Amino acid sequence: MVRIGPSALVGTLSRLQMWAIPVLVGLFAVFLLIGGVNLWILIQTRKPVPVAALLKSFCVSTSLGMYSPAQVGEFTLVFMLRSHGISIREGLSMQFVDKAITLGAGVILSIVAVKVYLPPQPWLMAFFIMVLGGLVVLSLLVWIPDTRNFINRAVIHSRWIIGHYEFFRAASDLFRHHTMALGLNVIITFGRLALGAATIYVAFAAFGRSMSYIDVLLINTLARLTTLIPVSLNGIGVLETTAFYLFRQLGIPGSDTLCAFLVNRIIVYTFGIMVITMASGRVLQEVEAWRRQFRDGKIFNGHRK
């Protein structure tokens, strides 16, 4: 068992080179911007939404996701999009597709990371392959007309399917008629994963630790995949523990790993607190609107004007 005392962490933090702070802030800003634009590409296939308006709502929902298990707070974005004519079911559909693509890209890189950095783990490899296979099968189900038509004939008369038809139709239309937008989202998603790894790479460099960028990319992706386990707010502790173990396989001191991720946490959460504080009035108005519509049973009906 490896223990790291406060003195080791303080000693590592004292080596922090201040040039890295503005660089990390800039990288995070670009990372956030790309994430918003990537989702905007999908939402544009439903109805035109000003990119500035979506980015503003995206920043708020992302900030709320920082304080929720498995980042589920990010789905509050769909409520904010109603004022732009995007129904909740359409918004959820686009977000689920975006999350599925991100999950698929993360699983692909994680399979490589497990193979390279961990001892043989057949059960873990089988799990990742099942997840990736499930995403591929799901994509085929909404892409191939014959398969989609068979499912429609088999279950379309189900009351639950009819009630959520708009959700499935939005995803189906995306795969059938907007493959260019879908492909662009996939490419940008891999780029965003690479940019996220760059922030960790710079954070390590800020403490004088030089390492391979490919190692950082694969390990960071695998570690962040574990944050989907809803055991803490935004994976706090889960991410750091996984990264701590994986980077130790490369001989990286645990104090360096923890401090690198801590610096990134501080920057991200400072941004989140600032956004939530500035948007608190809007958030409270949305919460009150959601409460009334849940009470009246109208949460999925129509658009909010």
Q: How far, in Å, CA of 46 to CA of 94, rounded?
A: 9
Average confidence (pLDDT) over 169-173: 80
Whether 6 maps to a domain, the answer reads no
At 129-165, the pLDDT tens digits run: 776 676 666 666 655 665 555 555 555 444 444 445 6
- Helix/strand/coil (H, E, C) string of 138-173? HHHHHHCHHHHHHHHHHHCCCHHHHHCHHHHHHHHH
- Residue 11 is assigned to a structural domain of this protein: no
Whether pTM > 0.85 for this model: the answer is: no
User: CA dist 56 to 18, 36, 126, 275, 287, Å?
Assistant: 29, 9, 39, 10, 17
Taking alpha carbons only, the member of 78, 97, 90 closest to residue 38 is 97
Chain CA centroid to CA 48, Å: 23
Distances (CA, A) of 123 to 49, 223, 231, 265, 290: 43, 17, 21, 31, 42
Evaluate whether 242 touches 225 at the Cβ level (below 8 Å).
no
Asked if 190 contacts 11 with a C-beta cutoff of 8 angstroms, the reply is no
Q: What is the rounded average pLDDT of the residues 292-300? A: 56
The predicted structure's pLDDT at residue 180: 92
User: Per the domain annotation, does 135 fall within a domain?
Assistant: yes
pLDDT in tens, 190-203: 999 999 999 999 99
Give the separation between CA 104 and CA 134, rounded to whole angstroms.
10
Q: Is residue 3 part of a domain?
A: no
Domain total in the chain: 1
Residue 243: inside a domain, yes or no?
yes
pLDDT tens for residues 13-28? 888 999 999 999 999 9
Percent of the residues in the chain that have a pLDDT greater than 70, as a whole number: 74
Q: Does pLDDT of 35 surpass 80?
A: yes
Choice among 98-107, 178-187, 245-254, 286-295 with the minimum mean pLDDT:
286-295
- Using CB atoms within 10 Å of the CB of residue 118, give its burial: 0 to 12 exposed, 13 to 18 middle, 19+ buried: middle
Cα dihedral 176, 179, 185, 190 sign: positive
pLDDT, one tens digit per residue, over 44-103 is 988 888 999 889 888 888 888 887 776 777 877 887 787 788 888 888 888 888 988 998
Angle at 203 between CA 188 and CA 187, to 5 degrees: 5
Task: Please answer whether residues 246 and 219 qualify as being in contact, where contact means their C-beta atoms are separated by less than 8 angstroms.
Answer: yes
The Cα 146–Cα 143 span in angstroms is: 9
pLDDT for position 264: 93
Q: Is the pLDDT of residue 210 over 60?
A: yes
CB 20 within 8 A of CB 206: yes
Task: For residue 118, give the H/E element and its range.
Answer: none
Report the pLDDT value the prediction gives residue 157, as an integer from 0 to 100.
46
The answer to whether residue 161 is domain-embedded is yes
What CA–CA distance (Å, rounded) separates 189 from 101?
Answer: 7
Residue 4 lies in a domain: no
Share above pLDDT 90 across residues of the chain, in percent, rounded to a whole number: 28
Residue ranges making up the domain that contains 108: 18-296
